A = this chain, B = another copy of it.
Amino acid sequence: MQPTFLKPVKVIVADDHKLFADGVEQIINSTPGFEVLASVDNGKLLMQVLNRLSPDIILLDINMPFLDGLETAALIKKNKPGIKIIFISMHYDASIKTFIQKNGINGFVHKNISAKELKDALYKVVAGENVFISNYPAQQTEINAPQPGTEFISQHKLTKTEVAIIKLIAGGDSTKAIADKRSLSYLTVESHRKNILRKLKAKNMAEVIAFAVKYGLV
C-alpha cells in the first residue's frame, strides 16, 4: 500500500445517480489517504475524463446510460490496465461474476454496504486484494440467475460471435470498428452481419437491435 501521507490515492466515482455519487465522494474525501478526482454520471464521460486524469481506482456503477459499466470497464482494463476498478451496483448475477473474473476487475461492492465497509474495500484494493462485499448473502451464492437474452439467443440459434457483434453494433460500432476491436477482417464481420440478418429474418441491423434490446440481450 502506498504511504498515504505522501501520495493520496486518487479515485473517480462513476454513477448516474448524482446524489449517490456525491455522497460517496464525501465519504471517500473524508477517508484519510484518499481523494476524489472527479465524479461522472455515464461511461462515455468517464472515458473522456480519463484522457485528462489518472486515477488509481475507479468506483464504477454497472447500470449507466451511454456506455454501461461493463463495457466501460473492459475498455479501461484494455487501455489503462494499471487503474483498479471496483464495481458498485444494486444487482449481482452470474454474468457479472464471469465478467469480473475474465476482466480482472478488482472488486464488487453492493450499494447496500455501509460507509465503513466501502472504506475497508478501498483500503484492501489499494493493498492489492480483490474484494467482494454484499449484505445480501443470497445474491452471492445464487449463481443460476435468469440470464437475460438467452431466450433470444437460443430462439434464433445465434453463435457467441454473432451475439458479441450484435452488442457492439448496438453500441454504435461500425463494421470496421468491430473488425479492429476484435482483430478480425472487415470481411469476416460482414459475413457475421449477413448471417445475423438471415437468422433473424431482419431487413437491417436497426431492426435486429430493437429486438435484441427488447429481449434483454443488450
Q: Which residues of A contact B (CB under 8 A)?
A: 16-20, 22-27, 30, 41, 65, 88, 90, 109, 111-115, 117-118, 135, 169-174, 202-207, 209-211, 213-214, 218
Q: Please determine whether B18 and A113 come into contact, CB atoms closer than 8 angstroms.
A: yes
Residues of B within 8 A of A20 (CB): 17, 19-20, 23, 111
Q: Please determine whether A115 and B26 come into contact, CB atoms closer than 8 angstroms.
A: yes
Q: Please determine whether B16 and A210 come into contact, CB atoms closer than 8 angstroms.
A: no
Residues of B within 8 A of A214 (CB): 213, 218
Residues of B within 8 A of A90 (CB): 17
Residues of B within 8 A of A115 (CB): 18-19, 22-23, 26
Tell me, in angstroms, the Cα distance from A187 to B73 when the chains sit together.
Answer: 40
Residues of B within 8 A of A135 (CB): 18
Q: Please determine whether B174 and A204 come into contact, CB atoms closer than 8 angstroms.
A: yes
Q: Please determine whether A204 and B26 come into contact, CB atoms closer than 8 angstroms.
A: no
Residues of B within 8 A of A170 (CB): 206-207, 209-210
Residues of B within 8 A of A173 (CB): 203
Tell me, in angstroms, the Cα distance from A115 to B117 when the chains sit together.
Answer: 22
Q: Please determine whether B204 and A114 come into contact, CB atoms closer than 8 angstroms.
A: no
Report the nearest B residue to A205, measured CB to CB: B206
Tell me, in angstroms, the Cα distance from A19 to B118 when the chains sit together.
Answer: 8
